[in-house]
């Protein structure tokens, strides 16, 4: 198996010059902040320069020698936040971002909301105008606010606005601990620009990072009685169904998840944008719309919107066949920390979900403990092995028929031009076969069964909060982490997502971060075009007009030229599906040499789909 790019050139060094041979002790508060960030394990800091953190910026370069953390320069604050988001997901470690006061914070706020919904561990530091009005220059008044973190308080785990150097160091250490503790999420600390520039003495109180208080909180275990009841029901079930959610972005969850599915003979489905079990696993029924209604127990691991998963938003569109009483509604078990990640401001996650058993726990730990309890019960049940074997055989037959049906569905349009998304997906899967790759996202309308994913850790999910523009920055951040792991980063990205932050490509090219972006370019705001079609049908009006105020054909954006303008290799637009294999080979050859490659593929808009 190929382990990603082999011969990419060395990163630009950006090594500061004219510095003393040996680093001195901290002279300014911002120097001490750099030492702290280093000790907290931040390898990189994603930022766009701003005057309210000029002291920290100087310390990163002239004190920390731009080493750890190393500056990753973005072209927009939203892209910088998304880069930190993508890096945290791909690395499995907390990421760091610094924003200019007010201006930068407002630019980056939507991407911080994405992080909160996606429960990724990111520490955001915000430069702040001096708390003391006497220290403010004229521009500092523009960049000062009464509690600037009020802008993002509804969608971060914790904020602080410390007034002194010692308090700032303590807050940063605490912010990382809170961000990394489950349920994970973003934290925000204002760092006063006057405090940053203060000289400090040897008596500055610095957090002792060796103390356990600065480590993330231990994983939370499920209630023993609720766990025992779940294990009993699962082993006795007629047809269990298991869903894998966000925690499947971690590769280590794949083995235990597959073990539970196989030990119990359960059917398995992925939660929307995630992949937890190999696509070709015989118990994987992702895309089967009927299995939910046939199941008597459903166990959802780290599913953030359980209402959507089980069709609870509308009885007319419910996926539970028994809503009308024909079949008993399944027992639903939620294994997550959703109850600890709610907000009084955001409705993310929907209303109270139809949960019968709540296992409040870190989902990977809950999975491990449930697997142990199930194995114990199966060992004491003489009839369990035969029941489970029969169910697995039936699921295997159903899986094969489902995958054949999913492929057959698109046969009539397979050679259509512009390209249908299922054909694009199939060609990408074929081109990447044999490589060790990670997909930064697969979208909510990704066609099931046409891409044979290997399982957990291969797909990083979606944006979380639905903020368009997440893709470019998150892909660059993820690619930086994946480069360190020797893995190839691939993104299937919408043209609307790309057009919001194409400048993120510059960052990838500048820092020699290899990646492949394939643009699903339907020249329209596809999701909203779908909505216009739906509302037109509902009102008895012509759906033929759904494209107006949605499509961008005149002039058509030349995405390949945009990409090349930022230093990337690019090709397209490609409209004939027969040209895809060759184009993908050429693009991957560039990525293998450490380049950033972008393929613009023209796809069928929603209104024109059959």
Q: How many Cα atoms are found within 13 Å in the side-chain-facing hemisphere of 167?
A: 11
H helix intervals, 40-102: 54-58, 77-91
> pTM of the prediction?
0.94
Q: Which tokens belong to 80?
A: 């910088």
**Bridge partners, residue 191, by sequence:** 127
Contact between residue 502 and residue 562 where contact means Cβ atoms under 8 Å apart: yes
CB-based contacts of 222: which residues, under 8 Å, 6+ apart?
335, 359, 360, 361, 365, 366, 369, 370
Main-chain dihedrals φ then ψ at residue 27, nearest 5 degrees: -100, -35
Task: Give the whole-angstrom CA distance, residue 246 versus residue 201.
Answer: 46
Structural domains present in the chain:
29-214 (3.40.50.970), 224-408 (3.40.50.1220), 412-608 (3.40.50.970)
CB-based contacts of 234: which residues, under 8 Å, 6+ apart?
240, 264, 266, 297, 299, 370, 374
- Give the angle subtended at the CA of 587 by the CAs of 585 and 591, to the nearest 5°: 115
Question: CB burial class (10 A; 0-12, 13-18, 19+) of residue 497?
Answer: buried
Task: Give the whole-angstrom CA distance, residue 64 versus residue 84.
Answer: 20
Question: CB burial class (10 A; 0-12, 13-18, 19+) of residue 567?
Answer: middle
Q: How would you classify the pairing of strands 488-494 and 437-439?
A: parallel
Main-chain dihedrals φ then ψ at residue 184, nearest 5 degrees: -70, 165
Task: Give the whole-angstrom CA distance, residue 85 versus residue 81.
Answer: 6
pLDDT at 198: 95
Task: Give the whole-angstrom CA distance, residue 462 versus residue 470.
Answer: 9
CB-based contacts of 598: which residues, under 8 Å, 6+ apart?
505, 516, 517, 518, 519, 559, 560, 563, 568, 569, 570, 571, 572, 587
DSSP letter string over 193-238?
HHHHT-B--TT-----TTSGGGSPPPPPPPPHHHHHHHHHHHHH-S
From the CB of residue 155, how many other CB atoms can be counted at a distance below 10 Å?
A: 22
pLDDT at 328: 54
CA distances from 236 to 113, 228, 229, 350 (A): 41, 12, 11, 31
The mean pLDDT values, 10 residues at a time, for the chain of 610 residues are: 45 80 88 97 97 96 95 97 98 97 93 96 94 83 86 95 96 98 96 95 91 93 98 97 97 98 98 95 96 96 91 55 50 95 85 93 98 96 94 98 96 95 96 97 84 97 90 97 97 94 97 97 85 88 90 91 97 97 98 97 81
CB-based contacts of 120: which residues, under 8 Å, 6+ apart?
85, 88, 89, 95, 184, 185, 186, 464
């Amino acid at each position: 198996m190929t382990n990603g790019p082999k011969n990419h050139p060395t990163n630009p060094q950006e090594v500061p010059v004219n510095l003393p041979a040996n680093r001195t002790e901290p002279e300014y508060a911002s120097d001490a902040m750099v030492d702290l960030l280093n000790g907290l394990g931040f390898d990189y800091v994603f930022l766009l320069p701003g005057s309210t953190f000029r002291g920290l910026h100087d310390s990163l370069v002239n004190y920390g020698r731009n080493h750890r953390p190393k500056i990753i320069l973005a072209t927009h604050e939203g892209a910088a936040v998304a880069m930190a988001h993508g890096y945290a997901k791909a690395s499995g470690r907390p990421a760091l971002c610094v924003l200019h006061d007010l201006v930068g914070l407002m630019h980056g706020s939507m991407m911080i909301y994405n992080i909160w919904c996606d429960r990724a561990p990111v520490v955001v530091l915000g430069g702040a105008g001096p708390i003391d009005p006497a220290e403010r220059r004229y521009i500092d008044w523009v960049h000062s606010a009464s509690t600037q973190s009020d802008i993002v308080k509804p969608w971060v785990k914790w904020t602080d606005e410390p007034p002194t150097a010692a308090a700032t160091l303590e807050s940063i250490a605490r912010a990382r601990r809170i961000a990394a503790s489950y349920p994970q999420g973003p934290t925000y600390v204002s760092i006063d620009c006057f405090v940053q520039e203060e000289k400090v003495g040897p008596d500055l109180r610095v957090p002792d990072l060796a103390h356990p208080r600065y480590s993330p909180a231990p994983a939370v275990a499920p209630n023993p009685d609720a766990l025992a009841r779940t294990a009993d029901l699962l082993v006795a079930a007629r047809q269990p169904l298991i869903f894998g959610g966000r925690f499947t972005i971690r590769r280590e969850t794949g083995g235990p998840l597959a073990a539970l599915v196989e030990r119990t003979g359960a059917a398995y489905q992925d939660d929307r944008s995630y992949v937890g079990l190999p696509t070709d696993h015989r118990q994987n029924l992702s895309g089967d719309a009927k299995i939910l209604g046939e199941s008597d127990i459903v166990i959802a691991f780290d599913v953030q919107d359980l209402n959507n998963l089980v069709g609870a938003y509308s009885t007319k569109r419910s996926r539970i066949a028994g809503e009308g009483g024909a079949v008993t509604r399944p027992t639903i078990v939620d294994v997550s920390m959703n109850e600890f990640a709610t907000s009084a401001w955001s409705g993310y996650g929907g209303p109270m979900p139809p949960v019968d058993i709540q296992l409040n726990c870190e989902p990977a730990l809950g999975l491990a403990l449930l697997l142990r309890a199930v194995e114990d019960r199966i060992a004491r049940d003489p009839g369990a092995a035969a029941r489970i074997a029969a169910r697995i055989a039936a699921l295997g037959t159903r899986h094969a028929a489902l995958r054949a049906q999913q492929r057959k569905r698109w046969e009539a349009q397979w050679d259509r031009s512009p390209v249908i998304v299922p054909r694009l997906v199939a060609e990408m899967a074929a081109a990447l076969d044999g490589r060790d790759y990670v997909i930064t996202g697969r979208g909510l309308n990704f066609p099931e069964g046409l891409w044979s994913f290997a399982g957990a850790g291969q797909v990083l999910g979606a944006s979380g909060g639905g903020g368009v523009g997440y893709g470019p920055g998150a892909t660059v951040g993820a690619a930086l982490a994946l480069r360190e792991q020797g893995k190839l980063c691939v993104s299937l990205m919408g043209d609307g997502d790309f057009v919001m932050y194409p400048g993120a490509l510059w960052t990838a090219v500048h820092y020699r971060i290899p990646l492949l972006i394939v643009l699903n370019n339907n020249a329209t705001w596809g999701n909203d075009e779908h909505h216009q079609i739906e509302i037109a049908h509902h009102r008895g009006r012509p759906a033929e007009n759904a494209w107006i105020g949605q499509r961008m054909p005149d002039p058509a954006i030349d995405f390949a030229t945009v990409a090349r303008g930022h230093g990337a290799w690019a090709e397209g637009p490609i409209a004939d599906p027969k040209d895809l294999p060759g184009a993908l080979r050429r693009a991957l050859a560039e990525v293998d040499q450490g380049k950033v490659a972008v393929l613009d593929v023209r796809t069928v808009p929603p209104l024109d789909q059959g």
